[in-house]
A and B are shown apart, each in its own frame.
Chain A
Amino acid sequence: MTGRARAEQRFPCFSPVAEHGLLVEFGETIDRETNARVRQLDEALAADPFDGFLESVPAYASLLIHFDPLICDHGSVRQQALRRIGGESRPDATPGSQEVLVCYDGDFAPDLEAVATACGLSRDDVIAAHLAGRYDVFMYGFAPGYAYLGGVPDRIRLPRKPVAVRDVPAGSVLIAGPQCLVSTLTMPTGWWIIGRSPTRILTQDESRPFLFDVGDRVRFRRIGRTELEAGVVA
């Protein structure tokens, strides 16, 4: 039951969660190939849901399948997942592409200087590196609209700060390790705050309430203070 060494894990690995969940793990690392396997199963379930399927929740390296225990059980859900793993991705699987605006000026980027110092770069180098990154939406998590973008260039990757900062405003552009995120709520964070964006991830459009789909490609475009202050974020 317990004590299996991590090295002995075989993927995909299926683990029951209470009476209504099955976690399907495809690996233990954050990379595009593992995440592509997660998305393949996620898309296959969306295209052809089984009886009792409630929702699936993609993460970096795993997919959680939430099901109705009155209709199915872990064993039958495992069979349904196995049947869909490794199939063709959607033929029209061109990822969506989104542009996010970012202002790196002064007080909107309180950690830019510290990131530059820690990486041995100038502020402009950090900005150029961030803008040069090609980002993928790996997953949403934590809170509504918190989309985890992978793809921060190596030269500006830093571990998160030891202590979180409180009351970081919504719309902050944050980085930590390979990840970048545009916050949607005022919250504490231990990530590095390198800019502010007027682009809303929670769109307030009922027909498309979230800007990104998991799998979308994201590019950042620099804007100035004037454009930010004229933008939609209060």
Chain B
Amino acid sequence: MNTAVVSVSHAGPHVSIQDAGRRGLMRFGVPQSGPMDRLAHAAANAALGNPAGSAAIEVSLGGLALECLSGRVSFAIAGGAFAIDHAGQRRASWTVATLDAGDRLAIRPGASGSWCYLAFAGALQVPRWLGSAATHAMSGLGGGRVVSGQKLTVGNAARRDDREGDIPRWQNPRPGGAFRATIGPQQRFFGAETVSAFLNGPWRMSDARDRMGARLTGPPIEPRSTLDMPSEAILRGSVQVAGDGVPTVLLADHQTTGGYPKIAALLDCDLDDFVQLRPQDPVVFRQVSPDEAVTEARGAASANRRYLDAISRPRGGLDWRLLNENLIGGVVDASGD
């Protein structure tokens, strides 16, 4: 078996191994985990021709630098707009290229975005927990945090030169840049004017955010009575308001239950964009009905499927050319930024 070994010379905080996550275990207190930006993670794997959901490295704003010690392996980077230096060359932030023994690769924060994914053509050899290599940040269970000095091995390492080059980007259109949300399920703990205040904002992303959740900065959102509800289950995207009146959007490693009321829930199909915001970025919400939420989710899923299908084929095919001519519709930015 061809293997490639890379040595991590620098890993910032919150860099971890993530596959598509573990489902169906929330009843045991285990959230799905997996990538913060699931579409970017899927794009990195698709662009390499990897099986969907293969384990990759999730890179935070802390950045990542590594050196290939042995072997040769193609890699893909997707997510946000990070600054990529590979073997002495600047590359686009969404790209496929090949690491040879002795090559260095550095991923640093770029123009925008908070998370990106580094996938290898092959199988990252990492620990699994409950059937998944996704890292649960609080416990470190799963594939684990990536730390400076660590060596990572890629099994079945391959060069896929028919895939090298920039990866076209796709982002589902969100009118007005707003994040869509349904109201509730505990709107009864808030007055109607408080729900309006939540929808009107103005909000900004705060710097208190991690894989568990993101606190927002804006007007106080005060429950109208003392909070006295039994803990109940939470879904990723739920907006919980603690006693201090600050809303928190719960994310990939969210606690599975909570005793604070949820004023709203962001649509799951908008969360990949939401997690890419940086502190101080404005956040605008738009209320949608549950039926509209389902319609939006179906539209987004089908557009994402078409996009991933198109970038999963080697270059030169008709699909690839159509993609590059922006014929799949919507916003496609081939430069990566």
Contacts from A to B (Cβ < 8 Å): 1-6, 9, 15-21, 23, 25, 28-30, 54-64, 66, 69-70, 73-75, 139-148, 184-185, 187, 206, 209-210, 214
Contacts and interface: CB of A to CB of B under 8 A. Distances in A.
Given A2-B190, A2-B191, A73 B257 contact: no
B130 interface: yes
Contact of B185 (A19, A23, A30): A23
User: How many B residues are at the interface, by size bracket?
Assistant: 35 or more
B136 A73 contact: no
B146 to A, nearest CB: 20
Given A17-B238, A185-B138, A66 B26 contact: yes
A4 B184 CA distance: 12
Ordered nearest first, which 6 A-B pairs have the shortest CB separation? A141-B257, A15-B185, A57-B233, A64-B233, A19-B293, A16-B290
B257 A142 contact: yes
7 contacts: A2-B192, A2-B195, A18-B268, A28-B229, A59-B230, A69-B293, A140-B256
A21 B254 CA distance: 16
B148 to A, nearest CB: 23
Contacts of A17: 182, 184-185, 235, 238, 262, 265
Given A1-B192, A2-B191, A60-B232, A19 B27 contact: no
A184 B265 CA distance: 29
Contact of B297 (A2, A63, A70, A209): A70
B200 interface: no
Interface string B224-238: 010011111111011
A16 B267 CA distance: 11
B224 to A, nearest CB: 9
A2 B267 contact: no
Interface of B: 23-30, 130, 136, 138-139, 141, 181-185, 187-188, 190-192, 195, 225, 228-235, 237-238, 255-258, 262, 265-269, 290-291, 293-294, 296-298, 301
B59 to A, nearest CB: 24
Nearest to B26: A57
A55 to B, nearest CB: 5
Contacts of B24: 54-55
A20 B267 CA distance: 8
Nearest to A46: B27
A59 B233 contact: yes
A54 B298 CA distance: 16
Contacts of B138: 143, 185, 187
Contacts of B237: 18
Contact of B290 (A4, A19, A62): A19
A70 B23 contact: no
B26 A143 contact: no
Given A2-B183, A141-B256, A142-B29, A64 B235 contact: yes
Given A17-B262, A209-B130, 9 more contacts: A2-B191, A17-B235, A18-B266, A20-B268, A28-B229, A55-B26, A56-B27, A66-B235, A185-B139
Contacts of B191: 2-3
Contacts of A145: 28-29
Contacts of A148: 231
B28 A210 contact: yes
Contacts of A66: 26, 235
Given A20-B235, A70-B298, A214-B27, A143 B139 contact: yes
B294 A73 contact: yes
Contact of B29 (A28, A30, A74, A144): A144
A209 B188 contact: no
Nearest to A204: B129
Contacts of B26: 55, 57, 64, 66
Contact of A144 (B136, B183, B225, B265): B136
B39 to A, nearest CB: 15
B230 A16 contact: no
B141 to A, nearest CB: 7
A82 B172 CA distance: 35
Nearest to B255: A142
- Residue among A2, A23, A185 facing the most chain B CB atoms (10 A cut-off): A2
B29 A4 contact: no
A63 to B, nearest CB: 8
Given A2-B192, A143-B138, A144-B28, A19 B184 contact: no
Nearest to A210: B28
Given A15-B185, A60-B232, A140 B29 contact: yes
